[in-house]
Amino acid sequence: MGGDSRAEGKVLSLFEAHTEVIRKGKGHKPNKFGRLVRIDEVENGIVSGYQVLVGNPADTTVWMPALATTSSVLRQAPEGKVALPARGRLSAQRAQQQKPRWFRRALRW
Protein backbone atom coordinates (compact mmCIF):
# COMPACT_ATOMS: atom_id res chain seq x y z
CA MET A 1 0.00 0.00 0.00
CA GLY A 2 1.18 3.54 -0.57
CA GLY A 3 4.43 3.70 -2.46
CA ASP A 4 5.89 6.19 -4.87
CA SER A 5 3.22 7.45 -7.28
CA ARG A 6 5.59 9.76 -9.18
CA ALA A 7 6.79 8.33 -12.46
CA GLU A 8 9.34 10.82 -13.77
CA GLY A 9 12.21 8.95 -15.39
CA LYS A 10 10.59 5.53 -14.85
CA VAL A 11 9.93 3.10 -17.68
CA LEU A 12 6.19 2.31 -17.62
CA SER A 13 6.00 0.25 -20.81
CA LEU A 14 8.66 -1.55 -22.82
CA PHE A 15 6.49 -1.32 -25.94
CA GLU A 16 5.06 2.21 -25.77
CA ALA A 17 7.51 4.86 -24.62
CA HIS A 18 4.76 7.51 -24.42
CA THR A 19 2.77 5.62 -21.74
CA GLU A 20 1.89 7.71 -18.68
CA VAL A 21 0.37 7.05 -15.26
CA ILE A 22 -3.32 7.97 -15.22
CA ARG A 23 -4.86 8.73 -11.83
CA LYS A 24 -8.65 8.86 -11.75
CA GLY A 25 -10.86 9.23 -8.72
CA LYS A 26 -9.85 8.94 -5.10
CA GLY A 27 -6.42 7.94 -3.77
CA HIS A 28 -7.37 4.32 -3.06
CA LYS A 29 -8.26 3.67 -6.73
CA PRO A 30 -5.64 1.74 -8.72
CA ASN A 31 -3.29 3.46 -11.17
CA LYS A 32 -3.93 2.98 -14.87
CA PHE A 33 -1.36 3.26 -17.62
CA GLY A 34 -1.64 4.62 -21.14
CA ARG A 35 -2.73 7.99 -22.54
CA LEU A 36 -5.92 9.99 -22.13
CA VAL A 37 -7.83 10.81 -25.28
CA ARG A 38 -10.54 13.48 -25.46
CA ILE A 39 -13.32 12.44 -27.84
CA ASP A 40 -15.86 15.10 -28.82
CA GLU A 41 -19.22 13.60 -29.72
CA VAL A 42 -22.38 15.25 -31.06
CA GLU A 43 -25.84 13.77 -31.57
CA ASN A 44 -26.18 10.18 -32.78
CA GLY A 45 -22.62 9.32 -31.78
CA ILE A 46 -20.90 11.35 -34.49
CA VAL A 47 -17.33 12.20 -33.46
CA SER A 48 -16.59 15.86 -34.16
CA GLY A 49 -13.03 15.88 -32.86
CA TYR A 50 -10.42 14.24 -30.68
CA GLN A 51 -7.13 15.03 -28.98
CA VAL A 52 -4.48 12.87 -27.33
CA LEU A 53 -3.87 14.64 -24.02
CA VAL A 54 -0.56 15.16 -22.27
CA GLY A 55 -0.61 14.11 -18.64
CA ASN A 56 -3.89 13.87 -16.73
CA PRO A 57 -5.63 17.26 -17.11
CA ALA A 58 -8.86 18.01 -15.28
CA ASP A 59 -12.12 17.96 -17.24
CA THR A 60 -12.58 21.64 -16.45
CA THR A 61 -9.48 22.49 -18.52
CA VAL A 62 -10.29 20.42 -21.62
CA TRP A 63 -13.97 21.15 -22.23
CA MET A 64 -13.44 24.61 -23.72
CA PRO A 65 -11.07 23.29 -26.45
CA ALA A 66 -13.62 20.54 -27.14
CA LEU A 67 -16.36 23.15 -27.54
CA ALA A 68 -14.16 25.23 -29.84
CA THR A 69 -13.33 22.21 -32.03
CA THR A 70 -16.97 21.15 -32.30
CA SER A 71 -18.08 24.72 -33.03
CA SER A 72 -15.54 25.05 -35.85
CA VAL A 73 -16.53 21.70 -37.39
CA LEU A 74 -20.27 22.43 -37.19
CA ARG A 75 -19.77 26.14 -37.97
CA GLN A 76 -22.00 26.96 -34.99
CA ALA A 77 -22.03 26.37 -31.27
CA PRO A 78 -23.80 23.14 -30.34
CA GLU A 79 -27.11 23.42 -28.53
CA GLY A 80 -27.37 21.56 -25.28
CA LYS A 81 -26.25 21.43 -21.71
CA VAL A 82 -22.83 20.78 -20.21
CA ALA A 83 -22.54 18.54 -17.15
CA LEU A 84 -19.29 19.05 -15.27
CA PRO A 85 -19.45 17.79 -11.67
CA ALA A 86 -17.99 19.99 -8.95
CA ARG A 87 -15.00 18.64 -7.05
CA GLY A 88 -14.94 18.14 -3.30
CA ARG A 89 -17.77 18.75 -0.87
CA LEU A 90 -20.84 20.24 -2.55
CA SER A 91 -22.69 23.29 -1.31
CA ALA A 92 -26.48 22.96 -1.04
CA GLN A 93 -26.89 25.11 -4.17
CA ARG A 94 -24.42 23.03 -6.20
CA ALA A 95 -26.01 19.78 -5.01
CA GLN A 96 -29.36 21.03 -6.34
CA GLN A 97 -27.76 21.89 -9.69
CA GLN A 98 -26.36 18.37 -10.00
CA LYS A 99 -29.59 16.64 -8.99
CA PRO A 100 -31.71 16.77 -12.21
CA ARG A 101 -32.04 13.59 -14.25
CA TRP A 102 -30.39 15.08 -17.37
CA PHE A 103 -27.28 15.94 -15.32
CA ARG A 104 -26.97 12.47 -13.79
CA ARG A 105 -27.51 10.81 -17.18
CA ALA A 106 -24.85 12.98 -18.75
CA LEU A 107 -22.36 11.93 -16.05
CA ARG A 108 -23.14 8.24 -16.53
CA TRP A 109 -22.55 8.51 -20.25
Average pLDDT value for residue range 47-65: 87
33, 19 in Cβ contact below 8 A? yes
Query: What per-residue confidence (pLDDT) applies to 1?
Result: 43
Lowest mean pLDDT among 28-32, 56-60, 71-75: 28-32
82-108 pLDDT per residue, tens: 788 888 899 999 999 999 999 998 887
66-86 pLDDT per residue, tens: 889 889 988 988 787 878 888
> What global pTM score does this model have?
0.59
> If DSSP codes are grouped into helix, strand and coil, which group holds residue 66?
helix
| Rounded Cα–Cα distance for residues 45 and 22 (Å) | 25
> If DSSP codes are grouped into helix, strand and coil, which group holds residue 22?
strand
Residues 6+ apart with CB under 8 A from 9: none
End-to-end CA distance of the chain: 31
